[in-house]
A and B are shown apart, each in its own frame.
Chain A
Amino acid sequence: MAASAGAGNATRGNAQGAAGAVGSGKGGSGGGTLSSALFYVFLFLFVLVSVAPLLWVFKMSIVQKSEVTATPPTILPQSFTGQSYSTIFSDASFQKALINSIIIAGVTTVVCLFFGAIAAYAIARLRFNFKNLVMTLILAISFFPAVAIIAPLFIQFRAIGLINTYWSAIIADTVFALPLTIWILVSFFKELPPDLEEAAKIDGATTLQAFRKVIVPLAAPGVFTTAILTFIFAWNEFLFAATFLYEESVQPVTVRIPNFATVYTVDYGAQAAAAVVVTVPLVILVLIFQRRIVSGLTAGAVKG
C-alpha cells in the first residue's frame, strides 16, 4: 500500500518535470493551451493509475460485505458501513500486531541509525584506500535477494533461539535497511564543512564529542529523513516477519492482515480496513516530510 502511495509521489515528481518542459515549449509553438491541457490529462492518468489501488482498498473497507464481492463490481461505493473498521479495532490480535509493527520498525530504525551514522561518518571523513569499494560492498548487500538468505537465516536464528522473537525480524531488517541508511547519511555528512569538526577539536572536543555535539545536530535533517525512510522500509517488510515470526503474539501487521479470515469465509472488508489503517500513517508521514525526504534521496547529487 505504502509502495503505491510512494509511486504516486514519484509520479508527481515526474509530472512536475514534465510541466517544466511543457512550460518552456510554450513560447515557440503557440499551442500553449493544447499542450497544457494534454499535460493535465496525462497528469491525471498518472495519478489515477498510481492511486487507484489505494482508493480501491479504501472503497472496499467502507462498503458492506455484499458489495465487496458483488458481480459486476461497483465502481463507486453504493453502501456504507463502519463494520470493517469496528471488526479490526475490536480484534485484540490486530492491536497487538500494530504494537509489534511499531516495536520492530522502531527498533530497526534506531539500530540502523546508530550503526549507520557511525559508519557513514567514518566513510565521509576518514581518508582510506578502497573507499569506493567499501561503499559498493555495502550497497551490494541490499542487492541480495532476501529469499536467497532466508533459509540459512532461519536455521541460524533457530539455533540461537531468536525465532518468534522481535530480534529475528529486527536483525534481518537491519541488514537490508543499513546500506540505504549509510548511503544517505554519507552524502549528508559529506556536505558538512570539515572545518566545523576541526574547530570543535581545537576547542577541546574529542572525536566523539565533535560528532555528537556538532555533527549530529547539524546533520539532524538528514538523520531524520533517513529515520523515516528506514522506518517505512521496516514497517512494510513482510517476508522475514512471515518466516521468522509464526506465533501470532509477535507478528507485525503486514503478516496479520491476510489472516483476517474466519474458517469459512475471508473477510475482505476487514483486510482492506486493516490495510488502510496501516498505510495512512505512512502516507501522512511522507506528505508532511516530502520535501525533506526528496532532499535526502538526492543529497550530494547536485551541489546546491
Chain B
Amino acid sequence: MAEVTLEDVNKVYSGNVVAVRDMNLDIQDGEFIVFVGPSGCGKSTALRMIAGLEDISSGKVFIGDNIVNDLQPRERDIAMVFQNYALYPHMNVRENMGFALKLRKMDKGEIDRRVNEAAKILSIERFLDRKPKALSGGQRQRVALGRAIVREPKAFLMDEPLSNLDAKLRVQMRTEIGKLHNRIGVTTIYVTHDQTEAMTMADRIVVLKDGIVQQIASPQQMYDTPKNIFVAGFIGSPAMNFIRAHLERENGGYVAAFGSTRIKLTREAIGEHPDVGEYVNREVIVGIRPEHIEDARLVEITSDSDCVQVTPQVIESMGSEKYVYFSVDRELAAHTKSMEDMTAVGADGGGSTDDFGDLMVARISPESTVREGEQVKMAVEASKIHLFDPETEQAIL
C-alpha cells in the first residue's frame, strides 16, 4: 500500500496532441480515487501513465516515495484490472491468478494459499480449474479482480472494469468492489465515464475534461459545490438545469432574475462569495438541481418571486418521485461549450440523461398532481441555487 502522487504530469502525443495537461494529484494511502470524464478526456491515459503502460511526457509520478517515471510496469508493484478483463485464455483461473506470483518465483504453497484466499473472498472457488472462456462476464471480472488481489500490490488500477457488464451486474459488482476495498484497503485508482460509479464508490473524485483536471473533491463536495458548469452538469443525474439570468441588486441583497422569476440570493451564500457584487447588472447562468424544484402547492412559499410558471411536457413517475420535464423560453436557455460536451456524454450512455435537449427537469414529490400540458407553479429552493460566469463557466457561488 502506498500513496500515489502526480506532479505536473503531461502527456503529449506526437503532433502536439495533449492528452493530459499539468495534472497534480495527491492520493492518500488506502484512498479510493475515481477519474471520471467523457470519453477522450485523458482519464485512461492518466491511469496508464501511472501503470507504466504509457510514457510520461513531462512531470513526475510517485508511488510511495519512489519516482516511477522510468520504471517498467513490472517494477512498479501495481495491479491493474482491464475493461475487457484481459485474462490469459490459455490458462485456467488458478493459473491466471497465480501468474504474477509465479513470475516472482514465489513458493508454490504460498501461491496456492493466496489464490485460494482471494478466490474465497470473491466466491470463485468453484471455477478455479476452468478456463476463462467457460466463465460469464461477471465471473471473469471477479477473476480479473482476484488476479489483482493476490499480488498484494501497492495500488490497484482499474480501467472501466464494469463497462462490459450488463446494468444489473454492474451495480452488484460496484458494491462488491466497494466492499473489497473496505476489506483490504489498498490504494485504488478507478477510471470510469459513469458519474454514478464515481459518486457511489469514490472517496474523492477527479473530474477530467480535455486532459485538464476540472475539480478534485469528495462526491458530496463535488455535488454541492461544483467548480464550473462542466462539473455541475456532469455530476448528478438527472443533470443540473441551466438558465440564463440577470443579476440585480434589490433591497440591499441580490436577485437572479429570469422571466418573471426573481430568485433572492441568500445571505449565507453571498457571505462566502464576496465577488458576487461584480456581476450586478450582468448576465449569469443559474444552475438548479432537479431536486431543488418542487411543486409549489406542496411547499411553503416565502415569496412568489421564487417560483416559475411552467407547463410540464412529460412526466415520468418513478414511484418514489416524479420527473417533470418542461421547456423554458428560448432566450433563457443557456448554451455553453461544455454543455454540448455533456449532451454528448448523455448520448454515450454516461451520467446525464438529458434526452430532452432543451428541456428542464424537476424531481418532485410523488404526491404532486401535476399533469402534462397543464400550467403549474414550481418553487425553486433559493438557498440551493448555483451561479456561473457565462464566459469563464466558473462558479460564482
Interface residues of A (CB under 8 A from B): 193, 195-196, 198-206, 209, 213-214, 217-218
* CB neighbours of A213 from chain B (8 A): 99
Residues of B within 8 A of A205 (CB): 74, 103
Interface of A is mostly: helix
In the complex, are the beta carbons of A202 and B79 less than 8 A apart? yes
Contact between B82 and A203, CB atoms less than 8 A apart? no
User: CB distance A203 to B53 under 8 Å?
Assistant: no
- B-side contacts of A201, CB under 8 Å: 52-53, 72-74
Q: Which residues of B contact A (CB under 8 A)?
A: 51-53, 72-74, 78-80, 82, 84, 86-90, 99-100, 103-104, 147, 151
Whether the Cβ atoms of B103 and A203 lie closer than 8 Å is yes
Q: How many pairs of residues, A versus B, come closer than 8 Å at their CB atoms?
A: 56
Contacts A195-B82, A199-B82, A203-B79 known; list 15 others, CB within 8 Å: A195-B84, A199-B88, A199-B147, A201-B52, A201-B53, A201-B73, A202-B52, A202-B53, A203-B74, A203-B100, A203-B103, A206-B72, A206-B74, A213-B99, A218-B90
Is the pair A209, B103 in contact by a Cβ cutoff of 8 Å?
A: yes
Q: How far is the CA of A202 from the CA of B47 in the complex (A)?
A: 13
Which of B72, B89, B100 is close to A218, meaning CB atoms less than 8 Å apart?
B89
Are B103 and A204 in contact, CB atoms less than 8 angstroms apart? yes
Shortest Cβ gap from A292 to chain B (Å): 17
Residue contact B78 to A202, C-beta cutoff 8 Å:
yes
Minimal beta-carbon separation of A200 from chain B (angstroms): 7
Chain B residues contacting A209 (CB-CB under 8 Å) are 103
Most buried by B among A193, A204, A205, A213: A204
Contacts A193-B84, A195-B82 given; indicate if A202 touches B90 (C-beta within 8 A): no
Q: Which residues of A contact B52 (CB under 8 A)?
A: 201-202
A191 CB to nearest chain B CB (Å)? 12
Q: Identify the closest chain A residue to B84 (Cβ).
A: A195
19 contacts between A and B (CB under 8 A): A193-B86, A195-B82, A195-B84, A196-B86, A198-B51, A198-B80, A199-B80, A199-B82, A200-B99, A201-B74, A202-B52, A202-B74, A202-B78, A202-B80, A203-B74, A203-B79, A203-B100, A205-B74, A218-B90
Residues on B with beta carbons closer than 8 Å to the beta carbon of A214: 88
Q: Check A203 against B147 for contact (C-beta < 8 Å).
A: yes
Chain B at the A interface: SS class: loop
Contacts A201-B73, A202-B74, A203-B147 given; does A196 touch B88 at CB 8 Å: yes
- Which residues of B lie under 8 Å from residue A218 when comparing CB positions? 88-90
Chain B residues with CB under 8 A of A206: 72, 74
Give 5 closest A-B pairs by Cβ, nearest first.
Answer: A203-B100, A195-B86, A199-B86, A204-B103, A204-B74
How far is it, in angstroms, between the C-alpha of A214 and the C-alpha of B90 when the chains are bound? 8
Q: A195: nearest residue on chain B (CB-CB)?
A: B86
Instruction: Give, as a whole number of angstroms, the nearest-CB distance from A193 to chain B.
Output: 7
In contact, A198 and B90 (Cβ under 8 angstroms): no
In the assembled complex, the Cα of A198 lies from the Cα of B73 at a distance in Å of 9
Q: Which residues of A contact B104 (CB under 8 A)?
A: 204
List, in ascending order, chain B residues with CB within 8 A of A195's CB: 82, 84, 86
**Alpha-carbon gap, A204 to B71, bound state (A):** 12
When distances are taken between beta carbons in the complex, the residues of chain A under 8 Å from B100 are 203-204
In whole angstroms, how far apart are the Cα atoms of A198 and B84 in the complex? 12
**Which A residues are CB-close (under 8 A) to B88?**
196, 199-200, 214, 218
Residues of A within 8 A of B84 (CB): 193, 195
Bound-state Cα–Cα, A291 to B49, Å: 42
Cα separation A205 to B78 with both chains bound (whole Å): 13
Q: How far is the CA of A196 from the CA of B91 in the complex (A)?
A: 12
User: Of all chain A residues, which has the CB nearest B159?
Assistant: A195
Among the interface residues B74, B80, B87, B147, which one has the most CB atoms of the partner chain A within 10 A? B74
Residues of A within 8 A of B72 (CB): 201, 206
Q: Looking at the assembled complex, report how far the CB atom of B42 sits from the nearest CB atom of chain A, in whole angstroms.
A: 18
Residues of A within 8 A of B53 (CB): 198, 201-202
Residues of B within 8 A of A204 (CB): 74, 100, 103-104
Residues from chain A with a CB closer than 8 A to the CB of B82 are 195, 198-199
CA distance A204 to B147 in the complex (A): 12
CA distance A217 to B147 in the complex (A): 20
Chain A residues, Cβ within 8 Å of B80: 198-199, 202
- The CA of A209 and the CA of B74, in the complex, are separated in Å by 11
Max chain A CB contacts within 10 Å: which of B78, B84, B100, B151? B100
- Chain B residue with the shortest CB-CB distance to A129: B14
Q: How far is the CB of A240 from chain B (nearest CB, A)?
A: 38
In the complex, residue of chain B having the shortest beta-carbon distance to the beta carbon of A192: B89
Contact in complex: A198, B74 (CB < 8 Å): no
In the bound complex, residues from chain B placing their C-beta under 8 Å from that of A198 are: 51, 53, 73, 80, 82, 86
- For the complex, give the distance between the alpha carbons of A18 and B90 in Å: 38
**Which residue of chain A lies nearest to B77 when distances are taken between CB atoms in the complex?**
A204
- Residues in B whose Cβ lies below 8 Å from that of A203: 74, 79, 99-100, 103, 147, 151
> Quick one: closest A residue to B82, CB to CB?
A195
Chain A neighbourhood of B151, CB < 8 A = 203
CA distance A202 to B103 in the complex (A): 11
Q: How far is the CB of B305 from chain A (nearest CB, A)?
A: 57
Q: How far is the CB of B150 from chain A (nearest CB, A)?
A: 10
Known: A195-B84, A205-B103, A209-B103. A217 touches B90 (CB 8 A): yes
Contacting residues, chain A, for B78 (C-beta < 8 A): 202
**Separation in Å of the A30 CB from the closest CB of chain B?**
46
Contacts of B79 in A (CB 8 A): 202-203
CA distance A218 to B79 in the complex (A): 22
A213 to B90, CA, bound (A): 10
Chain A, residue nearest B53 (CB): A198
For the complex, what is the distance from the CA of A195 to the CA of B73, rounded to whole Å? 13
Chain B residue, CB-CB nearest to A207: B72
Q: Could you tell me if A202 and B99 are in contact, using CB atoms closer than 8 angstroms? A: no
Quote the shortest CB–CB distance from B156 to chain A (angstroms). Answer: 11
Contacts of B87 in A (CB 8 A): 199
**Cα of A202 to Cα of B50 in the assembled complex, Å:** 11
A202 to B74, CA, bound (A): 5
Q: Which of B52, B72, B84, B151 has the most CB of A within 10 A?
A: B72
Closest to B79 in A: A202
Q: How far is the CA of A204 from the CA of B73 in the complex (A)?
A: 7
Closest Cβ neighbor of B80 among chain A residues = A202
Point out the residues of chain B lying under 8 angstroms from A196, CB to CB: 86, 88
Assess whether A202 is in contact with B73, with CB atoms less than 8 Å apart. Answer: yes
Kindly provide the distance from the CB of B147 to the nearest chain A CB, expressed in whole angstroms: 7
